[in-house]
Amino acid sequence: MIEIDLHMLQIILSIVALLIAIIGHEVAHGYAALCYGDKTAKLLGRLSINPLVHIDLLGSILVPGLLYISGAPFLFGWAKPVPINNRKVFVGGGFNGLSVVASAGIAYNLALAFLAGFLLQWFAFPDWVMIFLAQLLLVNVVLAVFNAWPIPPLDGSWILSYQFSRFGIMGLQRFYERVGNYGMLVLIAVLAFEPLRSLFFAPALWLLEFLA
């Protein structure tokens, strides 16, 4: 009976950690855009921490559910993207402002991962808190590394694209936009096949070793 309770507790804490990671990731984009004068997300109520306004059927429910059923070592997913008006952000901050908005979600996940790692290393908490912090560390590291890759439509691709435009490297920018049309196919191939999948998540393992 105790083992069942602990198992259910771990599932619940994993789901809570995942929601904190993916919802905070999107809200961070919205707040960064707000700092540059774009109130789109705020006016649409997307800066709320209410999960109901962020849940995506595929990314927040089906994908994590399939990962759990398949026995994956971690849960993963995403929330509905927060709407951003790039023109308003550009007026307020130029290409650097656009890059900051694109990287805000990654920064949020890394900050949470470092906080969780610090608390795990230096403090003793009840078991359920330690389990939660471990899940928070794992999910945020995976989400940050996943989004940092410059494969469209991940955040890293937008950061790279904006920097190409900032420095006037328009030939590479146009090439990158054409390649971006196949980004999802590239991403699926990377996640579906070894050793590409292992190489893709290798930085997450290195970061986890450093933090834990």
Mean pLDDT of 76-103: 94
Question: What domain range includes position 99?
Answer: 2-211
Burial of 133 (0-12, 13-18, 19+ CB in 10 A): buried
CA angle 81, 163, 192 (to 5 degrees): 50
| 15, pLDDT greater than 50 | yes
Report whether 144 contacts 24 (CB < 8 A): no
Among 24-38, 105-119, 127-141, 183-197, which stretch is predicted with the lowest mean pLDDT?
A: 183-197
Report how many domains make up the chain: 1
Q: Quick one: tokens of 178?
A: 């054409």
Q: Which residue is catalytic, options 26, 177, 194, 209?
A: 26
> What pLDDT, on a 0 to 100 scale, did the predictor assign at position 118?
96
Let me know if 209 is a catalytic residue.
no
pLDDT of residue 104: 98
Q: Tens of pLDDT along 25-84?
A: 999 999 999 999 999 999 999 999 898 899 888 888 888 888 778 776 667 778 899 999
